[in-house]
Amino acid sequence: MTRCPIPEYVRPLPESVYPPSEDTFLFMDALEKERNHIQTLNPLFACEIGCGSGLIVSFFAKHIAPQSCFCFATDINDECLLTTKSTSKINKVCVDTICCDLLTPFLPRLYRSIDVILFNPPYVPTDEVELMNSQPFLGGTEGIASSWAGGRDGMEVTNRVLNDLDMYLSENGVAYVILLQANKPKTITQKLKARGFKLTVVLKRSSQLELLYLVKIVRLKPPHP
Amino acid sequence: MKLLTHNLLQCIVPACRKHHYPLKVTASLLNVEENPFDAIFASRMLERLEYNILLEAYNSLRQDGQPELPPAVPEDGASNEVFLQSLFFAINCLDVVEGAMTCSSCGRIYPIHNSIPNMIVRAIEGEQPPQSIEKEQEDEEEEESEN
């Protein structure tokens, strides 16, 4: 497989922006592996939740998305969106950016309409205080901690997305998510199955400290009307 | 922020959640991006747009010399090249760099700065945090055997 080049970005990144790391590269490798599948979907709406440096969504827009796909990105940290704007501009792709909590302001307009969700969540298990300090709607300030603090099992933010997948994903839509062994992927798989979704591992890779998974989540059957 | 995005966003204040769409958009600085025309994109998006809301937003921002949108979608809208070009310009080229979106119900103002709308509601403002930060005790024991 010919490797697509990693997008450029402006260095140095602001201190509050998560720098491209092993999970970022795993994500891009997996998207490249999934390119045919994604192109078959002919996506119209694709978004990255928690875009950080904007590398993943820019990579997606440049190398993976077919033409005629609207790519947008959200983050709770304004500096991430400024960085994503500049990353997308240098790479000559269009990514609209919105500072918001997950995808909240897009409902109900994008109800069951998003074809591709990209999500490299804050997956590090932390205590409640660290999670709260990282989330502005819980009274915290959105610094770099919002890129990693995941609360219990590292899943508190990810669960908010997984619990709402039925509202976001289009009929054939797909969500790509990074998970850690500590997030208990088997339990997540079972819970998603009970809710009508199938989780499969696209790539896994052991990094220095942890086993990283890039998983894809799709519907087992068409959604109930 | 593109007007396509504006067409998708609504007020996030819990009391407004039922129907506080659309937000009224205003701009003090606009930019025009030279994105190559994509007829398929425009015609596919047409099915997903609230056209009247786009029309109102676009007409409030449109400057002299920029394409006009008709008051209603033409019957052959999905294949009418001239119409699709205007539509493409309105949803995907015009960019609100500085401005705001205002909720007509609660009056909340969401500022747009550097083309980025800020739709964060902070706990300090006394809003309710989002619902589903779930606590699940039952999967406590599992996962020991995973690798």
B55-109 pLDDT per residue, tens: 999 999 999 999 999 999 999 999 999 999 999 999 999 999 999 999 998 899 9
Top-tier CATH class for B3-130 = mainly beta
If you ran DSSP here, which 8-state letter would residue A122 be given? -
The domain spans of chain A are 24-219
Q: What is the pLDDT along chain A (225 residues), one digit of tens a residue?
A: 558 999 999 999 999 999 999 999 999 999 999 999 999 999 999 999 999 999 999 999 999 998 899 999 999 999 999 999 999 999 999 999 999 999 999 999 999 999 999 999 999 899 888 888 888 767 777 678 888 888 899 999 999 999 999 999 999 999 999 999 999 999 999 999 999 999 999 999 998 778 999 999 999 998 887
The overall longest dimension of chain A from CA atoms, in Å, is: 48
**Strand pairing report for A70-75 and A96-99:** parallel
Query: Nearest CB to A137: which of B8, B38, B129?
Result: B129
In the sheet that holds B24-32, the strands lie side by side as B24-32, B94-102, B109-113, B116-117
Top-tier CATH class for A24-219 = alpha beta
Q: For position B128, what pLDDT does the model report?
A: 47
Query: Nearest CB to B10: which of A44, A109, A191?
Result: A109
Residues of A in Cβ contact (< 8 Å) with B142: 184, 186-187
Q: How far is CA B40 from CA A44, A136, A225, B82, in A?
A: 10, 39, 27, 13
Q: For position B125, what pLDDT does the model report?
A: 56
Q: For position B137, what pLDDT does the model report?
A: 36
Residue B72 corresponds to which tokens in the numbers above? Answer: 């209603």
Interface of A with B in 198-217 (CB under 8 A): 211
The domain spans of chain B are 3-130
Q: A98 and B134 in contact by Cβ < 8 A?
A: no
